[in-house]
Amino acid sequence: MFYEYAEKEWKRGNISVGLSADESDKKVYIDAKGLAQFLLPFLSDIEKLKLAKLSKENVKHHVMCPYKR
């Protein structure tokens, strides 16, 4: 329900997504600054996983990523 807003804020740099180094751990850590902080309690688990997927895809396309695909 709030994913579109969260995605916009992530692209602006107001939301950061942290993932566990353990692939079997599906926990997503989200931090926000500014007004985006008020959004965090309302994000569903599915929306958090979507943000995690978005972050992973962004990292895969980064120049410094050793696992570029």
68 domain-assigned: no
29 domain-assigned: yes
Structurally, the chain folds into a number of domains equal to: 1
49 domain-assigned: yes
- State the pTM of this model: 0.76
69 domain-assigned: no
Residues spanned by the domain of 50: 3-60
Q: What is the 3-state secondary structure (H, E, C) of the chain?
A: CCHHHHHHHHHHCCEEEEECCCCCCCCEEEEECHHHHHHHHHCCHHHHHHHHHHHHHHHHCCCCCCCCC
Per-residue pLDDT of the chain (69 residues; tens, 9 = 90+): 789 999 999 999 999 998 887 878 878 899 999 999 999 999 999 999 999 999 888 876 665 556 555
37 domain-assigned: yes
